[in-house]
Amino acid sequence: MLKRGVLSLSFLLVLFVLFSCGKEISLSADDLSVTVKVGETYQIEVDTNDDLVLYESSDESVLTISTSGLVSALKVGNADVKVTSKADANVFITISVTVETNIEITATTNAYTLTVGQSVEIMYTSNDDVTLTSDDEDVFTVENDMVTGVGEGQATLTITSDTDATVILEISITVRKSITLSVDQSNVEIWVGKTEQISYTSNDDVEFSVSDDSIATVSQSGLITGLDNGLVTIDVVSTYDQSVKETITLRVYNPAETLIITGSQMINVNNVMVLNADVGPDDAYEYVTWSSSDEDVATISETGIFMALSSGVVTITATSIYDETLSSEIVIEVVNYLVVDETTTTGSTLTYMGLDLTYDVDLFSTISAAEASAVEGSTIYVLAGTYQEDITISTANLIIDGTDVAIIDGLIQVNSNHVKLMNLNFSGQAQITNALNVNGFEFMNNQASNLTVDQNFLDLDTISDVVINHNTFTNTLGAAISIQNYLGGLIEVNNNTISQASVGIRLIARDNYDSETKVHIERNQISNVAIGLEIETLSSNDIQDRVRFNSVSAYTNLAVKANADHKVDFTLNYWGAETPVYADFENVSNYDLRGYYGEAADIISEANYQEGEIIKIVTDTDTVEIIIGDTYKVSFETLPMEADSGSVRYITSDSETLRIGGTGILSPVRSGQATLTILLSSDFTINAQITIVITTTPGIELTPTVKMQNLLVGDSFTLDAMVFPYDISDEDVSFESDDTLVATINQEGVISSHNAGVVTFTAKLISDPSVNQTFTVEFFGSLNDGNLLDLLTKNQVNYTSEHEITAYGIGYNYTITRYENVSRYYFGEIEANQSKMIPVFDGIRPGEPFDDLPDGVTQYNPYNVYWVVVHDTANTGTGAGALSHANYLWNAYQAGTQLWVSWHFTMDDKELYQHLPETERGYHAGDGSVQVLQGTTYLGGGNRNGIGIETGVNDDSDLFRTWSRTAKLVAELLNKYNLPRENMKYHNDFSGKDCPRTMRNAGLIPYFEELQDIEYAVEKDFSDANITLVSDNPEYVDNTGRVIKMPDRAMTVSYTVTVELDGATSSRTFYTYLPGTIH
């Protein structure tokens, strides 16, 4: 900008004082030397007492001056201004004026913004030379009018006149850091619901924005989410410098829902085609990945270009990138086809199976010509016609496939590996042989009939890996199929129909074959032949040879001819009769033929047969005789022999005669006959049956109609006699009494008593009196319940019944057979172990007394005990007795586990553990807080006012002893708390739960209550009595009255009961009949 000039004083003030006409004129000025810029003005200020002064320029080209003293600078130079008093011209002053140039500096802008490293030219104008300087070279530098950013910040650029340093121009320079920003993809494609992270590179933070957030959103971390079908743009902008940005074009597609590949499903080798993946719906995400199941056969590019490389079948898969579970497959066959049509000639063309064929290229009139042009892997299709030619096959992996009716009348010699002949007809002079060692030959779905060559039709020698399946051979003069000197691999001859041939199938080993060789001759129908099968193996090589599921019938010589030491499996065939004619088998034993079918129609179909599955169970005998006391292990075999061993089940037709263990051990129960059925567990239709005849030495088993010892004089009952074994069960017996004064018995076994006393009855087999059995009983004149010994007498048994009991448990159930006690009263003692009483603990022992009884309910004791509740543990595990359950509660308490389950006692056959005080409630009856007799369906008060007793059912316990001990405990508790007998109840009475399940399901609740009745009566009325039992047969009955061993043959045991009461002692001997387990 221009600066106004300043006046400078060059000498001291000169004051002229003149006197005129007596008046003194003064004239002075402050500045007598003035500098003025061209174009500027300057007002001369004078101090005078004159009325008027005059002004004069010494050089008006340099400056002019107005009458008022205003100097106007015109050009550079020097001039004087004379100021004269008008009154006296001699009074004047001279002011020296220097006119200098007016220096200007201007710029187009007064501020620049640039980035570090950026250089910008400063645009300015000046009429003088200038100098540019930076006040902070850490921010920018300047050279030759170019400013270069050095560091982030702001500084001032000063432009200074070289002539006049006071003339300057200041420009603000702002230097910002250089922002770099790039995105990896400028075009992104996603689908609705898909997210995509924007990948970018920047040296600064960025922010994102989308042009239409109804199509897509973008988070501030750059995560794109597709919302709807459409096209939007996304800007990625530097937060430091918003001029720095990148724009991404985003296409959001609909989700892909359907995917279908379109294209041809057959193509010839070396051809190319394009497969299309049609994705729906419209605007769906259309991108897929392509894959080939076999890139040796064909490849597929990323864009769906299919290249056929070699013959074979390949699966091409297109998988949606949107959803990898959405895919489509197309199976494409890459073929190498040659076609033979006897009607074609030179120049002929033919379109066959979508392929355009040219004569002598891939279309021929003879099979031989086609074979000569074939390469490995080719297929020759032979169209309808009769081809009378001899053919030598020298091309490996060649298929000759007949269509329509292609008849070959000539010799085919196979001299290459892996040749397949199929769907052809052979007649006349047709024959198939090989001259070289061949590996791999298949002959399938062909027909050979009316052959005139007096040789084997299919005559192969020195060969391995042969498949001859689903062919029909009729009227062959030699063997229909003859394979000699097979060397290895799989020799498979299956599902062929052969008739009117000298030999159906001949298989002869000559040289040593590989140990992995397999021979499978299966499902062939052979009839009207001289010999059905002729097989000769090398016995030194034990390989898998099986002849199975074949039907061989109407043969004129032999069904099978084999070498003496063969190892061939001949099971599971039909041999032309319901039972094979064993004489028609040379070197094949009856055992070799086991599992045969009685009818061809009975052979399991191929559709119903799964390799490795058992289809038959065979036994080595139909009938087995067992003597009671012995055991017998069932012997059987499952077929096929190589089938996986399956589990079987055994079922007896009469479980009271024959019992069977899970491992097939037969245990006879009594004499008789039963049918044992062996069933495959996975399929009961597969089974075998054996008749089991059970016998033993003769005997008699007796059963009385009255089983208690409460017989009084005048009473009558009957002895039933059962004669065994079963085959003499109808023979008669006679009865006699050893003391007719006491009682007599007639020949129907009816006993009449006459006097008190002990009497023994004998039943004898009339045909053999040495076979007999006795029964001893005592009749009493009277029995008085007020007499303890009489009361006990009425609760002894003269016959112990056998019970089969199933114990039910959470883990498993088990079944046992046991005799009941000789007495309903248990002569043993019980004592509770209180070492594991639970301390008060929430969820097990609440520590609360029994509830007050509702109004109208009798209070029998001050503790409000009202019920004694019997349960069973439902724990059948070995060792799961009283101690185990005591530990269960104790360990839960120790661990702080709130079970919300508890009871007062656990009883087993040896121990009794107490867990809770008898007068505190537990959690056992399942009736919650229902009060006594207040339930609508059940009794109520089981938890709140009942003592709970769990009875063990563990498989190593004696259930009858456990129940006897429990009855004694219940009686003690009922009497202790003054409860009536009927206040003993079961868990079932309070919640409906099937508990005690084992006792209930065995039908032994009435038995248990009989035990309870006598125990309650004795405890109530004779609690101070001392009662003992001494067994005369401790091997069978112990001193508690428990039958601890069941005899093989029936026997009578005796024992003495002694009562000590009120200082008096009395005793009585009892006799109890134990049935035999063998009869």
List, for residues 525-579, the tens digit of each pLDDT value: 999 999 999 999 986 666 778 999 999 999 999 999 999 989 999 999 999 999 9
Q: How far apart are the first and last CA of the chain?
A: 142
pLDDT at 1072: 98
pLDDT at 541: 65
Confirm whether 597 is domain-assigned: yes
**Distance of alpha carbon 990 from alpha carbon 932, whole angstroms:** 10
- Regarding whether 995 and 849 lie in a shared domain, the answer is yes
Write down which residue in 151, 176, 201 finishes a domain: 176
Write down which residue in 176, 201, 219 finishes a domain: 176
Neighbour tally for 645: CB within 10 Å = 7
Q: Is residue 534 within 8 Å of residue 559, measured between CB atoms?
A: no
3-state secondary structure of 338: strand
The two tokens of residue 532 are 């059905």
Cis peptide before 996 (omega within 30 of 0): yes
**Distance of alpha carbon 709 from alpha carbon 821, whole angstroms:** 13
Asked if pLDDT for residue 137 goes beyond 90, the answer is yes
- Regarding whether 303 and 197 lie in a shared domain, the answer is no
Confirm whether 968 is domain-assigned: yes
pLDDT at 82: 95
Burial class (CB in 10 A: 0-12, 13-18, 19+), 403: middle
Kindly state the greatest CA–CA separation across the chain.
211
State the DSSP H helix or E strand holding residue 882, giving kind and residue range, or none if neither.
helix 882-895
- Regarding whether 195 and 148 lie in a shared domain, the answer is no
- Regarding whether 852 and 723 lie in a shared domain, the answer is no
Confirm whether 382 is domain-assigned: no
pLDDT at 631: 85
Q: Go through 872-899 and write b for each residue having 16 or more CB atoms within 10 A of its CB, e for each that does not.
A: bbbbbbeebbbbbbbebbbebbeeeeee
Confirm whether 1034 is domain-assigned: no
The amino acid sitting at 959 is: L
Residue 956's pLDDT band (boundaries 50, 70, 90)? very high
Lowest-confidence pick of 27-41, 579-593, 995-1009: 27-41
Residue 875's pLDDT band (boundaries 50, 70, 90)? very high
The amino acid sitting at 478 is: G
Nearest C-alpha neighbor of 996 from the set 947, 953, 958: 953
CATH label of the domain that carries residue 199: 2.60.40.1080
Q: Is residue 263 within 8 Å of residue 240, measured between CB atoms?
A: no
pLDDT at 673: 87
pLDDT at 4: 31
Asked if pLDDT for residue 10 goes beyond 70, the answer is no
Helix, strand, coil proportions of the chain in percent (round to 5)?
10, 45, 45
Which residue has 């349960």 as its token pair? 871
Lowest-confidence pick of 16-20, 556-560, 829-833, 1055-1059: 16-20
Asked if pLDDT for residue 268 goes beyond 80, the answer is no
Residue 5's pLDDT band (boundaries 50, 70, 90)? very low
**Distance of alpha carbon 320 from alpha carbon 61, whole angstroms:** 95
- Regarding whether 77 and 111 lie in a shared domain, the answer is no
Lowest-confidence pick of 473-487, 624-638, 988-1002: 624-638
- Regarding whether 994 and 854 lie in a shared domain, the answer is yes
pLDDT at 540: 67
Nearest C-alpha neighbor of 745 from the set 293, 525, 754: 754
Write down which residue in 602, 628, 652 finishes a domain: 602
Lowest-confidence pick of 176-190, 226-240, 459-473, 651-665: 651-665
Which residue has 């056929």 as its token pair? 308
Q: What is the mean pLDDT of residues 926-955?
A: 94
Confirm whether 65 is domain-assigned: yes
For the chain, count helices (H), then strands (E). Answer: 8, 90
- Regarding whether 587 and 549 lie in a shared domain, the answer is yes
pLDDT digits 0-9 by tens, 16-38: 333 334 468 999 998 899 999 88
- Regarding whether 1008 and 873 lie in a shared domain, the answer is yes
The amino acid sitting at 558 is: L
**Distance of alpha carbon 521 from alpha carbon 243, whole angstroms:** 86
Nearest C-alpha neighbor of 384 from the set 412, 367, 406, 399: 406
pLDDT at 296: 94
pLDDT at 1057: 98
Percentage above 70 pLDDT, the chain: 97
Burial class (CB in 10 A: 0-12, 13-18, 19+), 493: buried
pLDDT digits 0-9 by tens, 680-726: 888 888 898 999 888 888 999 999 999 999 999 999 999 999 999 88
Asked if pLDDT for residue 11 goes beyond 50, the answer is no
**Distance of alpha carbon 1079 from alpha carbon 1071, whole angstroms:** 22
Q: What is the mean pLDDT of residues 489-515?
A: 93
pLDDT digits 0-9 by tens, 959-969: 999 999 999 99
Residue 672's pLDDT band (boundaries 50, 70, 90)? confident
pLDDT at 451: 94
- Regarding whether 200 and 62 lie in a shared domain, the answer is no
- Regarding whether 126 and 49 lie in a shared domain, the answer is no
Residue 6's pLDDT band (boundaries 50, 70, 90)? very low
Confirm whether 86 is domain-assigned: yes
CATH label of the domain that carries residue 923: 3.40.80.10
Per the structure, the complete domain to which residue 678 belongs is given by 616-695
Angle between helices 959-976 and 1005-1021 (to 10 degrees): 40
Confirm whether 872 is domain-assigned: yes
Residue 612's pLDDT band (boundaries 50, 70, 90)? confident
**CA distances (Å), 42 to each of 45, 47, 49, 56, 70, in order?**
9, 16, 22, 14, 6
pLDDT at 1: 31
Burial class (CB in 10 A: 0-12, 13-18, 19+), 253: buried
Asked if pLDDT for residue 381 goes beyond 80, the answer is yes
Confirm whether 389 is domain-assigned: no
pLDDT digits 0-9 by tens, 402-437: 987 999 999 999 999 999 999 999 999 999 999 999
pLDDT digits 0-9 by tens, 1021-1052: 999 999 999 999 999 999 999 999 999 899 99
- Regarding whether 690 and 639 lie in a shared domain, the answer is yes
| Mean pLDDT score of the chain | 92
Percentage above 90 pLDDT, the chain: 78
Residue 839's pLDDT band (boundaries 50, 70, 90)? very high
Asked if pLDDT for residue 12 goes beyond 70, the answer is no
Asked if pLDDT for residue 15 goes beyond 70, the answer is no
pLDDT digits 0-9 by tens, 722-767: 999 888 999 999 999 999 999 999 999 999 999 999 999 999 999 9
- Regarding whether 960 and 997 lie in a shared domain, the answer is yes
pLDDT at 3: 31
Q: How many domains in the chain?
A: 8
